[in-house]
Amino acid sequence: MVGIMLVTVNVRERQILTMAFEQLKIKVVQSSPSYSNYVKVLQYQPDIIVMEIPRYNNDQVHFSSLIRKNKRTKKVPVIGYGDKIDDMQMRFIVQQGISQYLNRPLKFSALLEMIKKYLKVINKSLDASLSDPAKEKDADIALILDKNTLPTKKIELIVKHISGLMAFPFTVAKVLSLSQSDKSGAGDLAKVIEADPVISASILKVSNTVFFASLNRRINTIKDAIVRIGFRETKKIVMTMSVMEMFNKEEEGFGLNKMDFWVHSLATALISENVAKRMGDINTDEAFLAGLLHDFGVLLFEEFFPTIFTSILENTTNSGTRFIDNEKALIKITRNDIINELFTKWKLPENITEAITSHYTICTEEKQVRRKNERVALSTYIGNVLAKTFCFGGVCDHYITPIEDVFFYSAKMPNGLNKDFYENTSREVLMYKKFLGLGDDEKDTELDVKKIGVFSPANWKFNPIQEYFATQGHEVVPIPPTGSYTAFDKACDAIFVCAGKDTTLKEIAPILELKPYSVPTTSESGSDPTTPVCALVYQDSQLDTDANGAFSLMHNEFDLRQLDENLHKMLKGEKFTVTNKSAPSAAEPTSPPPAQ
């Protein structure tokens, strides 16, 4: 599949180019040259970007330079086009990351030849795009998108299509059954693995990697491999490999990076398992598998219903809302409805199915989290939020909700996360990434490091703002909720306030008077500028009502990528208010109108 991002403000050109590309079976995502749409580039990771370069092109140049600073996108060709420019202008835009430039009037044949040249470098071709077989049945898709089709009928159609082409791995079911017995050992696990030649070969390969290999002994049997790797570790590797084998490794979807997806799923699984260990009364293998499969429905949409997936993803990236909310808005059902039906059909354990389908709501409902299934769901929820906050991989949104302190108590983690939690989790994720061939551990972006103050009158046991900025490489300056604040004058480039439900304007007033770390020129009014402040507040709280433009405002349920965008605005001196957005209303997948 070939994917192109089209960045233009010219409506007619956008319509014509989109139609022309789609006739060649090229996937097109439309965008504009803004920081918020830079998030689209990271999400879709297009093969090529085609961008209009107008006469006044500061936004386009900045957009291109952002792309070049990110490890994942810096090699993506950016083909610019616009009015004829002189040699000096050409050198400038090339320095800012524009790969090549085409003069107007734009000849589509010339653009196409340029695209073919760049595709050849990455071993892709338009011929392959044209020959891709259709995965979907048009009649079923029409019924699923039809607002008058009953939800039960939609679920039936989707599950029928998936179950006819896919079965859940027998190996995973057998590994789970072993976890129910205290008497099972390496010999029992070896028999399960040996029944699957692909997994057997992979386990032997892992056991002889530099992590485990001995200078004088090569492992040749599965039982010896289990002893060398470890019984619990082998079970996790086997379950992960078996689930990954269900999907086409060679085919990359447009908008969902499979490697990022599996890293996120793996990290969620490992964190879920660790939380389950602390609880002590639930099966840690089940918690691991629930974490591994918590977004399994996303892959099913992407693999079997790409048209529906593309529409949901576009609504998600445009609105900054949750992918699952946009599923509901578009087709009136969610992946959880599908998972519930499909996993029942596949006879997966009920507590795993319930944990996956309820982990999004377990901490938004007033529950005591007493039942075993609820506790597995809680471990999955915490795993998902932490995996996103620590930037382990990525999915279709980076949306998080606060983990209230009461749920840390329910998870038997009364002190929240200790200082070693992130380091230990990072090491574990990195180890399994290498076992499974899921890439390196380099930072994505070449950051301009900032000093970011985090003031938390809410005194949360887990502060996603602080953890996220630290993982991004910024220097985080914790500001205690009590005491003198004079020590923090000229200490921060920007300050984020993590407010509680009862936090008042009076409590944060001293923070609003602090001077910035890098003091800019005195403002036109003659007064010294203050450090830009953004408060993250509960919806409808007193501080939400009392802000009155004194500082920037976000609600504390948000897509983490908004932090990068809003930090960028704050450093430019802009103020903003970002409220919880609702998912767009259900609509048919859009296509451009015909050219006139």
Beta strands in 398-474 (DSSP E): 399-400, 451-455
Cβ neighbours, 10 Å, residue 459:
12
Please determine, for residue 586, whether its predicted confidence score (pLDDT) is greater than 60: no
pLDDT at 453: 94
Tell me the fold of 451-578: Rossmann fold (3.40.50)
Segment among 15-19, 94-98, 145-149, 214-218 with least mean pLDDT: 214-218
* Portion of the chain with pLDDT greater than 90, in percent: 34
Please determine, for residue 526, whether its predicted confidence score (pLDDT) is greater than 60: no
φ and ψ of 451, to 5 deg? -90, 110
What is the distance of C-alpha 141 from the center of its chain? 26
If you write DSSP's letter for every residue of 276-289 in order, what string do you get? Answer: HHHH-SS-HHHHHH
Structure tokens at 99: 């790969």
- pLDDT confidence tier of residue 136, bands split at 50, 70 and 90: low
pLDDT at 593: 37
Q: How far apart are CA 60 and CA 52, in angstroms?
A: 8
Q: How far apart are CA 30 and CA 8, in angstroms?
A: 8
CA–CA distances in Å: residue 212 to residues 188, 189, 224, 270, 429: 22, 19, 12, 20, 17
Mean pLDDT of 473-494: 90
- pLDDT confidence tier of residue 494, bands split at 50, 70 and 90: very high
End-to-end CA distance of the chain: 29
- pLDDT confidence tier of residue 580, bands split at 50, 70 and 90: low
| Chain segment 204-259, per-residue pLDDT in tens | 888 887 677 665 678 889 998 898 888 999 999 999 999 998 887 666 678 888 99
Structure tokens at 398: 């980076």
pLDDT at 61: 83
Q: How far apart are CA 530 and CA 493, in angstroms?
A: 10
| Chain segment 398-453, per-residue pLDDT in tens | 999 888 888 888 888 888 887 788 888 889 999 898 888 887 666 555 567 899 99
Residues making up the chain, counted from first to last: 596
Average pLDDT, the chain: 85
| Chain segment 246-302, per-residue pLDDT in tens | 887 666 678 888 999 999 999 999 999 999 999 888 899 999 999 999 999 999 999
pLDDT at 214: 63
CA–CA distances in Å: residue 109 to residues 113, 114, 188, 253: 6, 9, 62, 26
Structure tokens at 400: 């998080």
Higher pLDDT, 396 or 543: 396
Beta strands in 334-409 (DSSP E): 399-400
pLDDT at 520: 59
CA–CA distances in Å: residue 258 to residues 148, 237, 261, 299: 33, 17, 5, 9
Decide if 578 contacts 555 (C-beta within 8 A). Answer: yes
- pLDDT confidence tier of residue 581, bands split at 50, 70 and 90: low
CATH of domain 246-436: 1.10.3210.10
CATH 1.10.3210.10 maps onto the chain at: 246-436
Choose the CATH number for 3-131 among 3.40.50.720, 3.50.50.60, 3.40.50.300, 3.40.50.2300: 3.40.50.2300
Q: How far apart are CA 11 and CA 213, in angstroms?
A: 59
With vertex at residue 101, the alpha carbon angle to CA 96 and CA 104, rounded to the nearest 5 degrees, is: 135
- pLDDT confidence tier of residue 55, bands split at 50, 70 and 90: confident
CATH 3.40.50.2300 maps onto the chain at: 3-131
CA–CA distances in Å: residue 93 to residues 8, 307, 365: 16, 35, 52
pLDDT at 222: 92
- pLDDT confidence tier of residue 42, bands split at 50, 70 and 90: confident
Mean pLDDT of 171-188: 84
Q: Which of 211, 590, 157 is nearest to 337 (CA)?
A: 157
φ and ψ of 381, to 5 deg? -60, -50
- Encode burial over 9-47: b for 16+ CB neighbours within 10 A, e otherwise: eeeebbbbbbeebeeeebbbbbbbbebbbbbbbbbbbbb
pLDDT at 582: 56
Please determine, for residue 590, whether its predicted confidence score (pLDDT) is greater than 60: no
